[in-house]
Each structure stands twice: as structure tokens, then as C-alpha cells.
Amino acid sequence: MKPWGKSERNFWLVVGLAVYATVQVLINAGVINAFWLPIIELGAVMAIISLGLNLIYGFNGQFSLGQFGFYAIGAYASADITWRFADQMKAPLELGPFSFDLGLTAIYLIALGVGVALSALSAFLFGLPVLKLGSDYFGIATLGWTMMIYVLANNSDTILGFPEMKGARGMVGIPPLTNWTWVFLFLVLSLLLVRNLLYSSAGRAILSVREDETAAKAMGIDVARYKTISFVIGAALAGLAGGIYAHLYAFLHPSIFHFIKSFDPMIIVVFGGLGSMTGTVLAAFAWALLLQGAAPAVLPADLLEWRYVLYAITLVVVMLVRSQGLMGGQEWGFLKRKAPPLRQAAAVTSDPGAEVKRGNG
């Protein structure tokens, strides 16, 4: 892949800043109010989780239902750290989206880092035995992992010995440190991480495992290694999303991480298109805005549960009409692989034996 030029980097930097600034202006103007802002931020959180799952399933071919288990680990681990230390710090000085309390900001970032590290470590240890399983059996094993984490979350105050988590009653008192600035920053960083990984030599090895494990092994690719890399990075992204979520709503309850909800990122990945980062992000925001936002705002209270029926019907229709998902394997913008220069491509096309002739000469 040819690296970006300076002008291209500057262009996409300007685009990113423009998107961020536009949303921030709408927030300050009250157009995006207290109802819609958490929903937009939730869409970004789901996009980060689903990017991790797309790396595991869409790009590496490992059917996983374990994302919400790692999501819960990241959420509870980071929330516990800020819960313990935030009371010792003064309230941050807020000026628009920025916080100037460096102590509290540092605690927040450390807490997110711990959540990411624990999620990645647990994925590595859990993956050692289960990544040897076939895709279907691997999916069942990861679903069991999510169920186990859900049970532990329900008993975190007794079995795990963390009374502040309050088990099935739900954890309260978490500092609400997440804002649009942090959510946008971490979503962009997650996209860059996955993009750069996939377009590297390691990324090509990850894709080869998805296409044909036997052929990949025959070509000397360490299949177990690249399965582990995909699984650990995908889990780390789920842990990051968990930490962001915990400090967004300032409340955690085990029902948020119920194993049935493990199908949400799976649906988002399939709906957006397996192997498409663009499709994953678009589907995540569509999921949040339509299911969590538009339906409650439009439907009367006695018909609110019908949104899940409409949601299921929509998924069935999309799968029948466009089984490859909304984007298929396509990408937009900076997420696309950069093509070689047209002159070189034309030269190779016009004279396929040119490289051989030069080599023989």
C-alpha cells in the first residue's frame, strides 16, 4: 500500500476536524440536545465494539459472541478505578468540550488503559485453548464466556469482593467524564488502528486465514498467531468501548452486558457488511439513532416494544435483498486502500511480461 502524501493527510485531518466541530457547534446551539447527544455517543461506542468484532469475524473469519464479555470487563475495571480516585480530585474546569483538570483527565485515561489491558489479557488467556476450535464451536465457547462474565457481574460484590460494584443492584457514583470530544477521538483512533493493521503485512495474513486456513498454513503463515492477534485487538477495542460507556452514563448494571446483547454487534457487522469498516460505522450509528432514538421519540409508550419487531423485519428484508450487507466489502474515504499510480498500473496492464523481461535482462 502506498503511504499517504502530506496533502492527503492534511485533507482528511481537516475533514475529521470539520465533522467534530460541526457536531460540537450543534451541541452548543442546543440542536443536538440532552436526549440525542448520548444516543450519538452510544452509536460511536457501538461502532468501536463492532469494529473489534469485524476484525475478529469479518476479516479473520472467527465467529465470536464474546464481545460483550470484554465490553463488561473494560467497563467495570475502568469505572472502579475512577470511582476510587475521583473523589480525591477537584471537579474539572469545563470550557466547552475541554477539561483542564489534568489530574482527573489522567485518571480517566489510566482507567481506560487498565480496562483495555485487562480485556486484552483475558482474551489472550481465554483464546489459548478456544482458538483451536472450529468457527461454530468457537462461537459457542465465546457465548459461554459472555454468560460467565454476566454471572460474575451479577455477583461482583460477593464472589469478586468489590462491594462498590453492588452486583445485581448496579454500580453508581461513576464520574461522568466521557464527552463528545473523547468519544470522537477514540472512534477515530480505533478506525486508524484497524485500517493500518489490515493494510499491513500482518493484515494480509489475517485475511488469508479467513479465506483458507489450510492454504495459509501451506504458505507458511502462523495461523494461530494471527487468530490470536485479531482476537486480542478486537477484545481490546471492546474494553475501550466499555470504559467510554461507563463514564458516559455514570451507571453500570449487569443487564447492560446480558449475553443476548452479544448479538447486537454481530447484527451491526453483518448489516453493515462483513469486512467493511465503513459499513460497520454506518450501521452502528443507524442502530443507535433508529432503535434507541427515533423509535422512542416517535412511537407512543404503549407501542414502544414494537420497535424490536420492526427492527427484526428490517433485518430480514435487508438480508433477503442485500445479503452482503449495506456496504459489502467496500470502503469510503480514508478507509479505502490506496491504489497504485495510474501510470504504473497502465504499464503493467499493457505489457504483462515487462517485469519478467527486466528481471531476465
> What does DSSP assign to residue 2?
P
pLDDT number for residue 282: 93
Taking alpha carbons only, the member of 192, 217, 268, 210 closest to residue 56 is: 210
pLDDT number for residue 53: 95
206 domain residue, yes or no: yes
pTM of the model: 0.86
pLDDT number for residue 229: 95
286 domain residue, yes or no: no
48 domain residue, yes or no: yes
**CATH code of the domain in which 177 resides:** 1.10.3470
pLDDT number for residue 328: 80
328 domain residue, yes or no: no
pLDDT in tens, 73-82: 999 999 999 9
Buried/exposed 206-224: b ≥16 CB within 10 Å, e otherwise: bbbbbeebeebeeeebebe
316 domain residue, yes or no: no
158 domain residue, yes or no: yes
Dihedral class, residue 132 (left if φ above 0, else alpha if ψ from -120 to 50, else beta): alpha
360 domain residue, yes or no: no
131 domain residue, yes or no: yes
pLDDT in tens, 156-201: 988 888 999 999 999 998 989 999 999 999 999 999 999 999 999 9
Taking alpha carbons only, the member of 174, 44, 166, 188 closest to residue 115 is: 174
Find the helix or strand (DSSP H, E) in which 123 lies.
Answer: helix 102-130
Q: Which residues of the chain fall short of a pLDDT of 50? A: 1-2, 90, 93, 95, 99, 339-361
Show the domain range for 255.
Answer: 11-261
pLDDT number for residue 354: 44
> What does DSSP assign to residue 31?
S
pLDDT number for residue 57: 93
pLDDT number for residue 338: 59
- The domain tally of the chain equals 1
pLDDT number for residue 191: 94
